[in-house]
Amino acid sequence: MNYIFKDRNDAAKRLADKLKKYKNEDGVILAIPRGGVPIGYYIAEDLDLPLEIVLSKKIGHPNNSEFAIGSVSLQGVVIDESVTGIPKDYIERESNRILEVLEEKFKLFMGDCKLIDLKNRTVIIVDDGVATGNTIMATINAVKKSYPKKIIVAVPVSPIESARKLSVMVDEFICLQIPKVFFGVGQFYDDFSQVSDEEVMEYLKKNKRLLKPSL
């Protein structure tokens, strides 16, 4: 039976219950901004783990910007090979444009902070939900280049096909519900308010303050 999350806090608390076994591991929470950051903050707080962001953005189809044909992260580009007929110059142009945006966002959110080394660590990638899965797939491929100990993806909701794709890419895929009927992530929240850049920065600052005594 499908159920509705009250808000991202509610979804994060339910996810955190499924992740308790990772509390004593040398791990890190990687949240996808902006909606994934509140989810990541509450999980990081519960597991006493550092929170960082991982930036990626979908490449929209030239005839329908809402339809993703791939995604860009700071580590590279992933294109959905099942989508054909897209001009290479369009993909290159969009990829470069998106990369510039991501680099600006990274500087805004993280400043001059150095990212945690992911090698031999347990990496938990979180978001407030999955639609096509392209963004998280790009994130997974980027994280794999850092040779982590294991990769876990934890999300509140995902359509069946995306869940199937993601589950074979990681060591563990945790999803609270995989509905047969899926129109969008917001369909499963009472409150799916947009998260601002300022809120993202505040969550990251609060996480660093919480962890400071143990560092």
Domain ranges of the chain: 8-55+114-214
Name the H helices within 63-115. Answer: 88-110
CA distances from 4 to 11, 67, 170, 187, 191 (A): 9, 25, 26, 8, 10
Q: What is the pLDDT of residues 166-212, one digit of tens each?
A: 999 999 999 999 999 999 999 999 999 999 999 999 999 888 776 65
> Distance between CA atoms of 38 and 4, rounded to whole angstroms?
17
Q: What is the pLDDT of residues 70-99, one digit of tens each?
A: 878 776 787 878 888 999 999 999 999 999
CATH, range 8-55+114-214 = 3.40.50.2020
- Model pTM score: 0.83
Helix (H) or strand (E) holding 18: helix 8-18
Q: Tell me which DSSP letter residue 7 carries.
A: S
Q: What is the pLDDT of residues 103-117, one digit of tens each?
A: 888 888 887 777 788
Joined together, the tokens standing for residue 151 give 């990769």
CB 162 within 8 A of CB 130: yes
